[in-house]
Amino acid sequence: MYYLGIDPGKSGGFAILKDHEIINYAMFDKQSFIANVDWLSRCQERTVCCLEQVHSMPKQGVASSFSFGESYGWLKGVLDAMEIAYQEIKPQIWKKEFGLNTDKKKSIEVCQQLFPDANLVPHNHRTAHDGIAEALLMAEYARRKL
């Protein structure tokens, strides 16, 4: 079985596990995401997805809220079109599994403990990417709970 974790934020990421082995992970971009989801949809094995449930934030502008919602809907549409089962999970729920809160650095630390071989520093970046770390943690949450 494959497990897909998606952090849909502006600097989000996605990750794919098979059992406890990392198959792929990346910062979010539409082309890479579609290629990976298309590949998953063609696999003979079932895929389940943990999609972080998001909503507009206080003091967030109307245009950015609309854009964020549009992107979130796009993600759900792609998953539906590729017939990949997903559950929208509130951040508080999946983060509780790992003893996390809103501290992104802690998410990176926990991810590095669970997946010590994962390189969380993407090309052209200097530091670990919290979107990738949280996507890996959501894929792990899916493996444990879904």
pLDDT along the chain (146 residues), means of 10: 92 93 93 94 94 74 66 93 96 97 96 96 90 97 96
Q: Is 87 exposed, middle or buried (0-12, 13-18, 19+ CB in 10 A)?
A: middle
- Residue 94 CB contacts under 8 Å (≥ 6 apart), including other chains: 50, 52, 137, 138, 141
Q: Are 17 and 32 in contact, with CB atoms under 8 Å apart?
A: no
pLDDT of residue 108: 97
pLDDT of residue 130: 96
pLDDT of residue 65: 64
- Span between the terminal Cα atoms of the chain, in Å: 11
Collapsed DSSP state (helix, strand, coil) of residue 22: strand
pLDDT of residue 70: 82
Domains of the chain with CATH codes: 2-145 (3.30.420.10)
Pairing state between β 13-18 and 2-7? antiparallel
Q: Are 134 and 107 in contact, with CB atoms under 8 Å apart?
A: yes
pLDDT of residue 61: 66
